Amino acid sequence: MLFNSFEFLILVLVTVVLYYLPFMRRWQVPLLIVSSLVFYAWSNPNLLLLFLASAAINVTTSYGVVHGRPERRKAYATLGVVINLAILAFFKYSPLLGRTLFAPTDSIGQFLLQIPLPIGISFYTFEGITLLVDAYKGRDMHAEQELVPRQFVEHARNTTFFVAFFPHLIAGPILKAHDFIPQITPKYFRDINWEAFFRAVVVGYFLKMVLADNLKEQTFWIAYPYFETQSTSLLLMMLLGYSMQIFADFAGYSLIAIGVAHLFGYRLPDNFNFPYISQSVTEFWRRWHISLSSFLREYLYVPLGGNRHGNLRTYLNLMIVMFLGGLWHGAAWSYAVWGSFHGLALAVERLAKPHMQAPRSWAGKTLAVLATFTFVSMAWLLFKLPQFDQAVSYVQHIGQNTQLPTPALSYLTMLCIVVYSIPVLLYHAWYLLRQSGWAVRVRRYAYLAYALMLFLILTNAGPSGDFIYFQF
């Protein structure tokens, strides 16, 4: 079920009305679980069985971690994590293994290629892992009763709700058990943060429906083999457009999720913090998909040793984390290459940091932002063209097609990309403006910006489409 669909609007309205009825207060969490399962199963009910099985595994193993026999605590945690990763690997990476290890006519390869990719599996698997790890650590912190209550039914309810809560279920933000489960308390209509809801939802739908969906129509020609006949200027402009599209699409989803969660009294973590003003790749990953980078740092980078065992081990850990983070995004080796590019950039920046000073001048900071944006944008090609040879070919044609003419229709495409990219640039400019005294003056007229966004949502939305991160 898409956030920008009529069915989603009806689901939210019906759920909110029932949710805040006085006699429903003790049933608020079960109601949200039911609504979440309807949301997840709307397009493909069969996938609900896998989701419920995954939730049951996390419920049982995390309960064993906290309330089972002490000597089996580690075994329960290890078993739960291994099963989670095995499910993710089987359903997400079997087609990749089928293409890599077997001939197209091989029966095993054909079987692996036919395994479906359950929507949102990367997100709810990671959330199950956070529950197990937090429960295991919580035993030592004597806080397990808050995370895993003694009553098994209550624990099953809380855990199922934690992974199923529909605003974040399909594409995040990735939640951590120790942040979300303590929020499970009775909610009251009077406590809704209406301003936070309104701001997040309006900006989110504007980013998705007006910017991302319209840019999608212009960046379509990045696909193979269409890009081979396009001029260099159009190829570069489409790459700019896709960078803006993927930000508007994913940041839009995250903001809608955060806003809808406010309706039910829950706080989801921010997932984006103006990433395209980053002056380095390191800073970019502190601002882009924050819930993923936070998960990778807390549950993978630190357990691997982080930066505690010398520079060489630190660089290796960065490469491992980003390689696996790339594979998390998609079952293709190009995603692993994408992650490795970022891992290499992080390692190089860390190596060079003691010998370089951060730019202090306006010109130096601008050059750093442009260099980071260029690197990130070039790497995004591996998302749009997940076959690595096609991404390489795209870059080659940027250099080869300099003599190709740019027809009038291509100029129109470039104009549309500029028009729908400007709001993303203004969105990031707002962050810079907040650092100056002008922010107070501009904020007085914020209602005009929200009114314009609402108007454009109603009048200039692009053709509806899936969110890009749904495939992960």
pLDDT in tens, 451-462: 999 999 999 998
Q: Determine the 3-state secondary structure of 268 from DSSP.
A: coil
Render each residue's pLDDT in the chain as its tens digit; 472 residues: 788 889 999 999 999 999 999 999 999 999 999 999 999 998 888 889 999 999 999 999 999 999 999 899 999 999 999 999 999 999 999 988 888 888 878 888 888 888 988 888 999 999 999 999 999 987 444 444 478 999 999 999 999 999 999 999 988 899 999 999 999 999 999 999 999 999 999 999 999 999 999 999 999 989 899 999 899 999 999 999 999 999 999 999 999 999 999 999 999 999 999 999 999 999 999 999 999 999 999 999 999 998 888 888 999 999 999 999 999 988 888 899 999 999 999 999 998 887 777 777 888 889 999 999 999 999 999 988 888 889 999 999 999 998 888 888 888 999 999 999 999 999 998 888 776 666 666 777 788 889 999 999 999 998 887 777 766 6
User: For residue 415, what are its two tokens?
Assistant: 């104009």
Burial class (CB in 10 A: 0-12, 13-18, 19+), 414: buried
What's the rounded Cα separation, in Å, for the pair 177 and 135?
9
pLDDT of residue 144: 46
User: For residue 252, what are its two tokens?
Assistant: 């839009």
What's the rounded Cα separation, in Å, for the pair 384 and 20?
43
pLDDT of residue 332: 85
Residue from 67, 178, 262, 329 carrying the catalytic annotation:
329
User: For residue 284, what are its two tokens?
Assistant: 């970019």
Give the CA distances from residue 92 to residues 58, 233, 317, 398, in Å, rounded to whole numbers and listed in that order. Answer: 19, 37, 24, 33
Residue-wise pLDDT tens digits, 142-196:
444 478 999 999 999 999 999 999 999 988 899 999 999 999 999 999 999 999 9
Report which of 244, 271, 214 is spatially closest to residue 425, judged by C-alpha positions: 244
Burial class (CB in 10 A: 0-12, 13-18, 19+), 78: middle
pLDDT of residue 145: 46
Is the bond into 359 cis (omega within 30 degrees of 0)?
Answer: no
Q: Tell me how many degrees the CA angle 110-113-114 measures, rounded to the nearest 5.
A: 90
Sign of dihedral through CA atoms 181, 10, 255, 378? positive
Whether 397 is catalytic is no
pLDDT of residue 410: 87
With beta carbons less than 8 A apart as the criterion, state whether 165 and 179 touch.
Answer: no
pTM over 0.75: yes
Which one-letter DSSP state was computed for residue 174? P
What's the rounded Cα separation, in Å, for the pair 387 and 99?
12
pLDDT of residue 439: 65
What's the rounded Cα separation, in Å, for the pair 247 and 373?
12
**Residue 77: what residue type?**
A
Q: Which residues contact 400 (CB under 8 A, 6 or more apart)?
A: none
